[in-house]
Structure 1
Amino acid sequence: MRFFGLKTCDTCKKALKALDGQSFDAFDVRADGVNPTDLAAAHGQLGAALMNTRSTTWRGLDEAARDRDPLELLAEHPTLIKRPLIERDGVWTVGWTADVQKTVLEG
């Protein structure tokens, strides 16, 4: 399992606490980024749900920037990735809803 988030994100902190004791690799999207292959795979499964349009980064973008290719935009501004982004056995999830928790914690 791989966990992509921000150490300052409250939702990521909740998810990490729930995952305590499980084996996973954690990545900080701001410090580590997300490699293009993983970003493309996550976008392929999640589509527009991958983009955090409620973030301050999104609100700071002009209309032309928002209309760019989503993968380029996410690679350039990794804080636009909705968090946490979790990959488990090739299945990508985003956020920490009850459905995501069930998928991630129960496999």
Structure 2
Amino acid sequence: MRKVVYYLSTCDTCKKIMKQLELEDFDKIDIKNNPLSEPQLLELYVISESYEELFNKRAIKFRQQGLNKKELTENDYRKLLLDEYTFLKRPVFLINGELYVGNAKKTVEQLKDRIGR
């Protein structure tokens, strides 16, 4: 059984969500200190089938770099995710081949139902 959470230790939303869950048996990876590797990103991509789904379009650097005004391809999203940890939509929970990405209320509720409160 593989259970991993990718999060940002400086993100209050990540901390709030994680505090609500039972995470003793999870590998916790702080993406600021341990940015996503190519194999890790590929594992997430295989499940999600989309780099764009993993991408945080609300990241400050997304607008600062003018990326919001460009047509980005899946390969662009892949490269950006590998180059800059803040572009990962977070938190990302990987639970035995299932993926829960981001902090939308619906996603968090599904996650709580999956692993318990």
Range of TM-score over shorter length: 0.7 to 0.9
Give the TM-score taking structure 1 as reference length. Answer: 0.82
Q: Any unmatched runs of 5+ in structure 1?
A: none
Give the TM-score taking structure 2 as reference length. Answer: 0.76
Pair 1:101–1:49, CA change in 2 (3 A): farther
Map 1:8-19 onto structure 2 (within 5 A): 8-19=10-21
Of the structure 1 ranges 35-44 and 71-80, higher mean CA displacement relative to structure 2 is found in: 35-44
Work out whether residues 54 and 88 of structure 2, in 8 Å CA contact, stay in contact via their aligned partners in 1. Answer: yes
Q: How many residues align?
A: 105
Match of 1:55 in 2: 59
Q: Any unmatched runs of 5+ in structure 2?
A: none
Work out whether residues 43 and 71 of structure 1, in 8 Å CA contact, stay in contact via their aligned partners in 2. Answer: no
Q: 1:25-54 deviations in whole A, cap 9, x for unaligned?
A: 111112101121121221233322211101
Between the aligned partners of 2:79 and 2:70, the Cα distance in structure 1 is 10
Quick check: 1:23 aligned with 2:28?
no
Q: Which runs of 4+ in 1 moved over 3 A?
A: 63-66
